[in-house]
Structure 1
Amino acid sequence: MTIDTTDMPFAVIIDDLATQGWSLLPGFASQTLTAELAQECRARVKNGALSPARVGRGAGQEIREAIRGDQIEWLEPGQSAPTNAYLQLIDGLRLALNQQLFLGLDSYESHFAFYPAGAFYKKHLDRFRDDDRRTVSVVLYLNEQWQDEFGGELRLYLPDGETRDVRPEAGSLVVFMSADMPHEVLPATRERLSLAGWFRRRGADTF
């Protein structure tokens, strides 16, 4: 599957990041691609491919369900046609961000995230204290016909002290600056699917 990214509404995301540090774009991914990615995520869950997410880094990583209860599996190029199409789409955004905001984004890492009913992720930042390479956070939602009463919102803690709750509606993309936007995932009454990822800058020890 090949996607033409030349007409994608990247300008909206770029303007939002420059002015407020975050952006929400409904319908970023097509209905077809979103459905294919959701189907693949569910298939991976059924096959036992996803593992409980951990907190911390390196040898200090541990499963702490009191902090986060999602299950994840990392994406790699060549795994499937839908994930390849998604990675191509996201790379178009990376190039646009570099061209307009001069962020020096070098790579992208992403994983499927499956939240069973009742699971959550407590308030946190995506950037590690000792590693500033994660620069822009990106979340694509895969939940068709999501209703407000299901819960599962992404709560953003904005710089002005306000909060913004984002419904995890299929095809919607949320983008925000990793170092500046604390956020949490609220519990839902049903399973919740997404692709979570980060654009990274080249580190000082990367050649």
Structure 2
Amino acid sequence: ENLLLGLFSFEGHYALYPPGTYYRRHRDRFRDAAGSSNIRVISCAIYLNENWAPTDGGELRIYDGERVRDVLPVAGTLVCFLSDRFEHEVLPATRERLALTGWFRRRD
């Protein structure tokens, strides 16, 4: 039953981060001031960066309580996680960083 997420649609975009840019720590699913939740359930990113090296930076950093996981944005790497559970951020990169990013959504 935990896998019956009621997913209905997909919202996505092409993300191009110029060198030196980053994305601050956040969750993709949140509650507004009235307590309503947005409808993002699963966050996904597939990376499009050929010949990416650890020295290029640009990792996706995912937080799970006290644990931290860094994912290099290497071409073909797919990352998916629960939108409301995991805070994450994009660390600065020394070169242009490309990804297709999106969210599986449920009906509101």
- State whether TM-score is above 0.5: yes
Unaligned runs of 5+ in 2: none
Correspondence for 1:186 among 91, 99, 104:
91
What are the ranges of 5 or more consecutive residues in structure 1 without an aligned counterpart?
A: 1-98
Question: Pairwise CA RMSD of aligned residues?
Answer: 1.4
Matched, 1:168 2:73: yes
- What are the Cα deviations for residues 168-200 of structure 1, in whole angstroms up to 9, with x where unaligned? 000110000000000000000000000110000
Q: Distance in 1 between matches of 2:9 and 2:30?
A: 17
- 1:149 is paired with a residue whose SS is helix
CA distance in 2, matches of 1:131, 1:181: 15
TM-score, structure 1 normalization = 0.49
> Does 2:55 align with 1:149?
yes
| Distance in 2 separating the partners of 1:128 and 1:164 | 21
Q: Secondary structure at the match of 2:85?
A: coil
CA distance in 2, matches of 1:112, 1:131: 24
**Identical-residue share of aligned pairs (%):** 56
Structure with a larger share of its residues in helix: 1
Structure 2: distance between partners of 1:101 and 1:132: 19
Query: What TM-score results when the alignment is normalised by the length of structure 2?
Result: 0.92
Partner of 1:102: 4
SS at match of 1:101: coil
Higher relative contact order (CA 8 A, sep 6+): 2
Compare CA radii of gyration and give the structure with the larger one.
1
- After TM superposition, the runs of 4+ consecutive aligned structure 1 residues lying more than 2 A away are none
Q: Find the counterpart in structure 2 of residue 137 from structure 1.
A: 43
